[in-house]
Amino acid sequence: MRYKTYIFDLDGTLLDTLQDLANAVNYALRCHDMPEHSLDDVRRFVGNGVRLLMERAVPDGAQHPQFEAAFATFRRYYMQHSLDHTRPYDGIAETLRELKARGCRLAVVSNKMMAATQELVAHFFPEVEVAIGEHEAEGIRKKPAPDTVVEALRQLGVGREEAVYVGDSDVDLQTAANSGLPCISVLWGFRDRQFLLEHGAVTLVSSPLELLA
């Protein structure tokens, strides 16, 4: 399982961000007199960007008259609290350091807000050369469109040859396929083995260290 370029998803793949996301969701809901959600609810909501996360969390989604206000509250709160409980999964930091030592190129692509993506990656993973989050204003569509992967490869100055995508969800599987890359699905993230297999996963790993094999 040797590749020269690794394109990683962030939430559920490198970082356990679930508690901070859930806290931000529920803070926004409380501020706007909406019912809160459990951690497991939020786990099911994540994976398609923060706007869709809030559409799933808010009653009637984007049709709710207070949706935009609640979404703005979520964004402000999350940017101030994204490091409260977020941590790398066990073995991730060591794996990235070893991949870098082997001369591999490393990038992160996420549907998380650009500022939060770059802040978290810079804080936890100095080995990562490129970090791309949601920035549709620049014409780069969010995953599962291939745009962020294509942009990451462009910034790294490498092609698709000997590159692999690593993620934890069905969106990641679709992103990899749309980008023309093989996908390694991780089992420590927000989706379980059965879910991933049902959505087309072929290569699964249960420990970050397996990426070094």
Report the predicted TM-score, pTM, of the whole model to 2 decimal places.
Answer: 0.91
CA distance 182 to 169: 14
pLDDT tens digits, 41-63: 999 998 778 899 999 999 999 99
The number of beta carbons lying within 10 Å of the beta carbon of residue 74 is 25
Q: Is the pLDDT of residue 1 over 90?
A: no
pLDDT number for residue 136: 62
CA distance 168 to 171: 8
pLDDT tens digits, 95-133: 999 999 999 999 999 998 898 899 999 999 999 999 999
pLDDT tens digits, 132-153: 998 766 788 999 999 999 999 9
Provide the percentage of residues in the chain whose pLDDT is more than 70.
99
pLDDT number for residue 184: 98
8 Å CB contact between 1 and 184: yes
Q: Is the pLDDT of residue 70 over 80?
A: yes
Give the DSSP letter string of 24-79. Answer: HHHHHHHHTT-----HHHHHHH-SS-HHHHHHHHSTTGGGSTTHHHHHHHHHHHHH
Q: Is the dihedral of CA 194, 197, 198, 199 positive or negative?
A: positive
